[in-house]
Amino acid sequence: MSREITQGVGKGMGGVVAGARSFLAGLGWVVRNPRWWFLGLVPALLALVLYVLAFVLLALYVGDLTRFFTPFAEGWPEGLRGVFRFLVGVVIFGFGLLVAIKTYVSVTLVIGDPFYEKLSERVELDMGGLPKAPDVSLWRSILRSLRDSVVIGLQVAALTIPLFVLGFVPVIGQTVVPVLGALVSGFFLAVELTGLPMERRGLLRADRFRILRRNMGAALGFGVLAFLIFLIPLAVVVTMPAAVAGSVVLVRTLVPAPDPAASADDEPALPPEPR
């Protein structure tokens, strides 16, 4: 699509604040609607179990992996070889952790597509009604979500792998790289999380990128806040339903409602209190 479909939410800090408010509004919605919160926890917990199993396997075989990647160290003195392979093992485990952080949301969204679709629809209804969505089958929706996750994952990898390497550079790796990493991760989190409400409006991945780039402040305000919260152990599991709900608030802020009488305020509308 090439039509103009966005409304501004303010430049600079105004957009950042609007994006952060959208996430917090989603958090408020799930707090007031605990049944939907618990429903949204199911796919997040399933994904967590898968990742825990993957890390158990990685821990069991990290020694074999280090030997596989460092055959040249076989002739080294035993002490030096042991220290070197320990450090390589730490790097492998750290890289696995980075991959987990970057892919958890994607995997959870694919697993939980039917769950989060219903949660997202409920938030839309509470905020004024569902837009007329394109007629897409459940399996086609899941396959599209899987395809988008793979494409976005490759884009994230193309940016985060160089940042991971730069993280070992003194000074830059401890100052500039974490900030750039948070900004990159936050933007792509916003892209992934807004998938359901965007597709409900007939807006596919390319549209999503264009809208969020045009409203970069709001995208970063929403996504970076989500990223920082997700860094807290297990917080990503607990707050995933809130992030999905908040993405609806963000999209309704950025994409004008079809109803001409709909509000065009710069601040995101907050979901009403449940009756």
Does 1 fall in a domain?
no
Does 17 fall in a domain?
yes
Q: How confident is the model at residue 9 (pLDDT cuts 50, 70, 90)?
A: low
**Coil/strand/helix, residue 118:** helix
Does 272 fall in a domain?
no
pLDDT at 171 exceeding the cut of 70: yes
Does 268 fall in a domain?
no
% of the chain residues with pLDDT over 90: 49
Q: Summarize the confidence of residues 96-105 as an average pLDDT.
A: 86
Q: Summarize the confidence of residues 33-62 as an average pLDDT.
A: 93
Express each pLDDT in 177-197 by its tens digit.
Answer: 999 999 999 999 999 999 989
Q: Which residue has the higher pLDDT, 222 or 1?
A: 222
**CB–CB of 222/21 below 8 Å?**
no
- DSSP 8-class letter at 233: T
Q: Summarize the confidence of residues 219-232 as an average pLDDT.
A: 94
Query: Residue 232: which domain range?
Result: 13-254
Can you give the pLDDT at residue 131?
Answer: 77
Q: Summarize the confidence of residues 128-144 as an average pLDDT.
A: 73
Q: In this structure, is the dihedral angle defined by the CA atoms of residues 32, 37, 38 and 39, taken in order, positive or negative?
A: positive
Can you give the pLDDT at residue 136?
Answer: 66
Give the C-alpha separation, 111 to 252, whole Å.
24
**CB–CB of 246/26 below 8 Å?**
yes
Measure the CA angle with vertex 138, ends 133 and 141; round to 5°.
Answer: 70
Q: How confident is the model at residue 103 (pLDDT cuts 50, 70, 90)?
A: confident
Number of domains in the chain: 1
Does 6 fall in a domain?
no
Give the C-alpha separation, 18 to 27, whole Å.
14
Q: How confident is the model at residue 3 (pLDDT cuts 50, 70, 90)?
A: very low
Does 8 fall in a domain?
no
